[in-house]
A and B are shown apart, each in its own frame.
Chain A
Amino acid sequence: MTDPSEYPNQGYDEWIDAIAAGEGYHLVCPEGHGSLPPRRICPECGAGGLAEEPLPASGEIETYSVTHVASPRFEDDAPYAIAIATFGDVAITGQVRDVSPENVDAGMVVTVDVDESATDDEPVVVFRPR
């Protein structure tokens, strides 16, 4: 199978780099619907002309799970907490770092960052308690 790290993903790679630099953004259509890149068309209303706007400085965890049985790409990371956090009008899926998995909870206020997988050093979107 092709190693996902071996090919570029235009639009996504730049988004990861921006989050890592503390300049995370999301896309907003002319009608104000938020979405994540890479995206050409607003999934809500079909509009084009999506503009980049900064992500809010913090988000809130809505739901989470501690994964004990990981895929090979994360076998050395397990157990790890995954979560969905909302940042204004978008939601993002990431791993929760800087807090032990059993202390993760819904409602936790977090910032978004990029860290490395312990398994293959590939970039991972992460949340850190604010």
Chain B
Amino acid sequence: MTDVRIAGVGLTHFGNHPERTGRDMFAEAAGMAVSDAGVQRADVEALHYGNFMGSLAEHQSHQGPLMAEAAGLDCQATRYETACASSGAAAREAVRAIEHGDADVIVAGGMERMNNMGTAGATEGLAIAADELHEVRAGVTFPGAYALMARAYFQEFGGDREDLAHVAVKNHENALGNETAQYQRAITVEDVLEAPMVSSPLGLYDSCPISDGASATVLTSEEYAEEHDLDAPVAVTGTGQAGDRMALHDRESYVRTPAAEEAAEQAYTDAGVVPGDVDLAEVHDCFTIAEVLALESLGFYGPGEGIGAARRGETTADGDRPVNLSGGLKAKGHPVGATGASQLAELTKLLRGDHVNSDAVPDAEVGVAHNAGGTVASCVVHVLEVVA
């Protein structure tokens, strides 16, 4: 089976861009990715595109062909939707199609437009990733759902808001030099603890921002990359996806994310690696507690042990295994449908050495991307390795 190479990546600036159309943002990201890859547009055989709430934000469904056209691609195009894991799922299906010999060149990416809906509209839009009848109608917001998990975690394992604050501080620090990040400013633990409460125990600085942006990757078969002499040293060597019960109250535990555990196990097995081999990770820190749950589900820490990782300096840029060197969703921003593919784009640059934070991981060979939907009722995990 072929190794799937990441031949090119592209990202728009993530941030507050309410005036930008989705098609314009995706065209920018896809154009960058195609140029970065050095592939012919005519060779692109499919677009796998992730988007969560374009039907609400832009009154636009059937975005696949719209985005292919905007990117100058003449090929089949499908929109994938698994909430905040939409472009992780889109990329995974692209990887599988290339692995199975169905295609040699696929563009996988995503886009989300949110700020044109206003804060209230975006909050309501995000909430539809939860169960409308049994969660949303009870008043569960997205931060509220993760707050329920954070409270349960504190009760079961200990830890406190200050532990979580260190996650936010770390990710803001990592984004300082990242030009596509929404926030390029440092914050302190005190800033996090003193920020207005959103849904206790999570405050404003425990939460990712509302973001507009797009991401794209060009994935090719190993054979195509060699035949066309592409500079594509990074491969997707493992992929996994798993699901869980939709509503948080239907889970066996509120402090474990078994969909992520299962997706990680699949991806590790696929790649032939173990958690100890992983040099760096981009994980889905939509809220600070989500990074903690991700670290445990990926096998980097046992249950209850991930909460202090940032505080102890183990996941910081100079730690043993840096996590979210891009700034993560927290500081780089979270245009939800773009996030999964943006993690692959950031990891690719980190691994091939042209990321502003590549110096933190000069010898890294194995990276992991963890992309979650809802309260991890969907999860996609990818393993990336330097192979050339």
Residues of A with Cβ closer than 8 Å to B?
A: 1, 4, 9, 12, 35-36, 38, 43, 62-75, 77, 80, 82-84, 91-95, 106, 117, 122-125
Q: Are A82 and B140 in contact (CB under 8 A)?
A: yes
Evaluate whether A93 and B141 lie within 8 angstroms (CB atoms) in the complex, with A1-B56, A72-B124 already known.
Answer: no
* Pair A4/B137 contact, Cβ less than 8 Å: yes
- Asked if B1 is at the interface (CB within 8 A of a chain A CB), the reply is no
CA distance A22 to B143 in the complex (A): 31
Q: How far is the CB of A45 from chain B (nearest CB, A)?
A: 14
Query: What number of residue pairs across chains A and B have CB atoms under 8 A from each other?
Result: 106
Please tell me the number of chain B residues within 8 Å of chain A, measured between CB atoms: 38
Known contacts A9-B133, A65-B200, A66-B199; A82/B123 CB under 8 A: no
B151 contacts which of A1, A80, A106 (Cβ < 8 Å)?
Answer: A106
Q: A43: which B residues are within 8 A, CB to CB?
A: 245, 250
Is B42 part of the contact surface with A, judged by Cβ < 8 Å?
no
Cβ contacts under 8 Å, B186 to chain A = none
Q: Kindly state the separation between the CA atoms of A71 and B197 in the bound complex, as whole angstroms.
A: 15
- Judged by a CB distance under 8 angstroms, whether B135 is at the interface is yes
Q: Assess the A124–B151 pair: CB atoms within 8 A.
A: no
Provided the pairs A63-B155, A93-B134 are in contact, do residues A72 and B196 lie with their beta carbons within 8 angstroms? no
CB-CB nearest 10 A-B residue pairs:
A65-B147, A91-B249, A63-B152, A71-B124, A67-B199, A66-B200, A84-B249, A93-B138, A74-B139, A69-B198
Q: Mark B249-269, 1 if CB is under 8 A from A, else 0.
A: 110001000000000000000
Q: Which residues of A contact B143 (CB under 8 A)?
A: 67, 69
Contact of B369 with A by CB under 8 A: no
Assembled-state Cα–Cα distance A77/B254 (Å): 25
Residues from 230 to 278 in B contacting A, C-beta threshold 8 Å: 245, 247-250, 254
Do residues B151 and A65 form an inter-chain contact, with CB atoms below 8 A?
yes
Alpha-carbon separation in the docked complex, A36 to B249 (Å): 11
Q: Is the CB of B137 within 8 A of A122?
A: yes
Asked whether, in the complex, the Cβ of A84 is within 8 Å of the Cβ of B120, the reply is no
27 CB contacts below 8 A, A to B, read: A12-B133, A38-B133, A63-B151, A63-B152, A65-B148, A65-B199, A65-B200, A65-B202, A67-B141, A67-B144, A67-B198, A67-B200, A68-B197, A70-B139, A71-B120, A71-B123, A71-B124, A73-B139, A82-B138, A93-B134, A93-B138, A93-B249, A117-B139, A124-B137, A124-B139, A125-B137, A125-B138
**How far apart are the CA atoms of A68 and B198 in the complex, in Å?**
5
Q: How far is it, in angstroms, between the C-alpha of A89 and the C-alpha of B155 when the chains are bound?
A: 21
Looking at chain B's contact residues, the main secondary structure is helix
Contacts of A38 in B (CB 8 A): 133
Residues of chain A within 8 A of B151, CB atoms compared? 63-65, 106
A69 CA to B197 CA in the complex, in Å?
8
Q: Tell me the minimal C-beta distance from A43 to chain B in angstroms.
A: 7
Question: Given the known A-B contacts A84-B249, A95-B138, are A65 and B144 also in contact in the complex, defined by CB atoms under 8 Å?
Answer: yes
Residue of A whose beta carbon sits closest to that of B118:
A72
Contacts of A92 in B (CB 8 A): 134, 249
Q: How far is the CB of A51 from chain B (nearest CB, A)?
A: 19
Besides the known contacts A66-B199, A70-B123, 9 further A-B residue pairs in the complex with CB atoms under 8 A apart: A63-B254, A65-B202, A66-B200, A67-B200, A69-B141, A70-B139, A71-B124, A82-B199, A93-B134
B198 / chain A contacts, CB cutoff of 8 Å: 67-69
B60 to A: closest C-beta gap in Å: 14
Interchain CB contact (< 8 A) of B127 among A63, A66, A71: A71
**A69 to B151 CA separation, bound complex (whole angstroms):** 17
Does B191 have its Cβ within 8 Å of any Cβ on chain A? no
Complex formed: what's the CA distance from A123 to B127 in Å? Answer: 18
Q: Is B132 an interface position by the 8 A CB rule?
A: yes
Known: A68-B196, A68-B199, A93-B247. A63 touches B148 (CB 8 A): yes
Contact partners of B328 in chain A: CB under 8 A: none
Cα distance, A65 to B199, chains bound together (Å): 6
Write the nearest CB–CB distance from B156 to chain A, whole angstroms: 9
| CB of A30 to closest CB in B, whole Å | 19
B56 to A, closest residue via Cβ = A1
A72 to B56, CA, bound (A): 15
* Complex CA–CA separation, A110 to B185 (angstroms): 45
By a CB distance below 8 angstroms, the chain B residues around A95 are 138-139
CB of B201 within 8 Å of the partner chain? yes
The CA of A73 and the CA of B30, in the complex, are separated in Å by: 37
Question: B126: nearest residue on chain A (CB-CB)?
Answer: A71
0 or 1 for each of B161-195: is its CB under 8 Å from A? (1 = yes): 00000000000000000000000000000000000
